[in-house]
């Protein structure tokens, strides 16, 4: 079996699967059960000044029978006393010395406040800190969370404050609620961060009860925007992770977060530059034991691909991500219908006719009506293959001669 041990920014853990700072890491006994299940590390639910949470605080996006493909929350940081949390951090780390125990922190934007809580927290024996500059609701209205992360200068400043008194690795958790993730990443690195984690949750309103006309989640007839997470945010998270990973000036580790449900999701983050992954919503849905399949799946994948260590796949796909202007304009694919797998539902025709390039027609084969593709009209957009419910019925076949590539930048530069 492959070696799953990692050293992330100086923090060692038996595998790259960590729990994100969230309800599943709210207290010591929970994290201890998670470690027993197989999780390699955990980021404690964010500590800070005492707060009061509201009820209710969660709402979900469902798709037919699929529950919680997206989750919205308006929960704030821990509402448990700081002293109780710190005692449990100490006890947890003492019981599980080989697992990563990270303390997430968020306080008001004052040097003395940050440095005081850092000093108290590092006495617990924790392995490092995660600075929560990402929370988009509640705390941001108080000048914390995303209010910090959206201003690179503040991100750099607070990171410097922490590094002045911290002798432990510092991870800066970035907010996705920005137009470009690279400047906040650079700011964290400039401030002395040992790593970054991303993404935190995305500003959202989950929906409205059209009978009562009250948005979700309902707090005594009112609602507020919250943070969006879960399966649906994975593409956004992968993009932001890869943006930082391929930036030539960014050179600190990345912890990938957002929509990770299984080992395949985790591998995608690792391939795009994440040094480990953090999971929250999937655990809230299915429980801690999902890590068992994650560990087995990752082990089998690494063995199948011939990698001796999980560290050998980190960033393997980064060089495959580029800007649109560098893509090959000469590469050409066309859709093809395989009648043996076609169930004649005609979704390909409908999608192409009303939503794409009118490339499908019908013909009769052995007395049955099948769709076929007009090559001269097909632009290779993939829509038909994406809507097709029958595996193998539609494939995309390369039809260009495979000659020299030419990008938009090549054409505009006269190359």
Active site residue 135: yes
Q: Is the pLDDT of residue 148 over 90?
A: no
Phi, psi of 113, deg, nearest 5: -65, -45
Shortest CA distance to 12 belongs to which of 93, 115, 119?
A: 93
Mean pLDDT for the chain? 96
Report yes or no: 163 and 170 within 8 Å, Cβ to Cβ.
yes
pLDDT given for residue 37 in this prediction: 98
Reply yes or no on whether the pLDDT at 10 is more than 90: yes
- Look at residue 236 and tell me whether its pLDDT is greater than 70: yes
Tell me what the mean pLDDT of segment 366-393 comes to. Answer: 97
User: Taking 90 as the threshold, does the pLDDT of residue 273 lie above it?
Assistant: yes
| Rounded Cα gap, residues 140 and 148, in angstroms | 8
Residue range 326-413, CATH number: 3.30.70.20
Distances, alpha carbon 346 to alpha carbons 193, 391, 393, 396, in Å:
54, 14, 11, 17
pLDDT tens digits, residue range 27-74?
Answer: 999 999 999 999 999 999 999 988 899 999 999 999 999 999 999 999
Residue 393 has pLDDT above 70, yes or no: yes
Is 90 exceeded by the pLDDT of residue 139?
A: no
Over the stretch 303-353, which tens digit does the pLDDT of each residue have?
Answer: 999 999 999 999 999 999 999 999 999 999 999 999 999 999 999 999 999
Does the pLDDT of residue 247 top 90, yes or no?
yes
Q: Residue 220 — left, alpha, or beta (φ > 0 → left; ψ -120 to 50 → alpha)?
A: left
Residue 146 pLDDT greater than 80, yes or no: no
Distance from C-alpha of 147 to C-alpha of 145, rounded to nearest angstrom? 5
Among 135, 348, 352, 378, the one annotated catalytic: 135
Compute CA distances 5 → 10, 17, 285, whole Å.
12, 10, 26
Listed in sequence order, the residues at least 6 apart from 313 whose beta carbon sits closer than 8 Å to its beta carbon are 267, 270, 271, 302, 305, 307
For 97-127, write each residue's pLDDT tens digit. 999 999 999 999 899 999 999 999 999 999 9
For 174-261, strand residue ranges (E) read 195-198, 202-204, 208-209, 214-215, 226-229, 254-257
Give domain limits for the chain.
6-320, 326-413
Query: Given a cut of 70, is residue 415 above it in pLDDT?
Result: no
Q: 6-320: which CATH architecture?
A: Alpha-Beta Barrel (3.20)
Helix (H, G, I), strand (E, B) or coil at 403: coil
pLDDT score of 16 more than 70? yes
pLDDT of residue 138: 60
Note the pLDDT of residue 140: 72
Short-list 374, 398, 395, CA closest to 385: 395
């Amino acid at each position: 079996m492959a070696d799953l041990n990692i050293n992330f920014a100086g923090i060692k853990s038996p595998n790259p699967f960590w729990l994100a700072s969230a309800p599943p890491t709210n207290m010591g006994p929970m994290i201890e059960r998670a470690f027993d299940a197989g999780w390699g590390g955990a980021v404690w639910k964010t500590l800070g000044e005492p707060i009061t949470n509201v009820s209710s605080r969660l709402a979900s996006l469902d798709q037919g029978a699929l529950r919680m493909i997206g989750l919205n929350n308006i929960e704030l940081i821990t509402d448990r006393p700081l002293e109780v949390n710190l005692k449990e951090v100490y006890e947890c780390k003492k019981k599980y010395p080989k697992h990563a125990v990270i303390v997430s922190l968020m306080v008001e934007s004052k040097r003395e406040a940050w440095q005081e809580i850092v000093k108290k927290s590092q006495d617990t024996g924790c392995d490092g800190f995660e600075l929560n500059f990402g929370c988009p609701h509640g705390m941001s209205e108080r000048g914390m969370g995303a209010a910090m992360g959206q201003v690179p200068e503040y991100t750099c400043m607070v990171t410097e404050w922490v590094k002045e008194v911290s002798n432990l690795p510092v991870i800066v958790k970035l907010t996705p609620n920005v137009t470009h993730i690279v400047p906040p990443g650079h700011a964290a690195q400039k401030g002395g961060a040992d790593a970054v984690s991303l993404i935190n949750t995305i500003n959202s309103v989950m929906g409205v009860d059209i009978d009562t006309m009250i948005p979700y989640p309902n707090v005594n007839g009112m609602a507020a925007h919250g943070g969006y997470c879960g399966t649906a945010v994975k593409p956004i998270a992968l993009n932001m992770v890869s943006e930082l990973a391929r930036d030539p000036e960014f050179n600190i580790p990345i912890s990938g977060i957002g929509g990770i449900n299984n080992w395949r999701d985790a591998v995608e983050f690792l391939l795009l530059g994440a040094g480990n992954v953090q999971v929250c919503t999937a655990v809230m849905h299915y429980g801690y034991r999902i890590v068992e399949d994650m560990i087995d799946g990752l082990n089998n994948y690494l063995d199948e691909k011939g990698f001796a260590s999980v560290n050998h796949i980190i960033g393997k796909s980064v060089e495959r991500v580029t800007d649109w202007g560098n893509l090959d304009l000469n590469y050409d694919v066309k859709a093809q219908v395989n009648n043996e797998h076609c169930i004649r539902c005609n979704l390909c025709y409908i999608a192409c006719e009303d939503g794409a390039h009118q490339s499908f027609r019908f013909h009769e084969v052995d007395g049955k009506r099948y769709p076929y593709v007009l090559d001269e009209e097909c632009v290779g957009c993939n829509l038909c293959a994406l809507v097709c419910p029958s595996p193998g019925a539609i494939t995309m076949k390369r039809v260009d001669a495979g000659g020299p590539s030419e990008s938009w930048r090549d054409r505009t530069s006269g190359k």
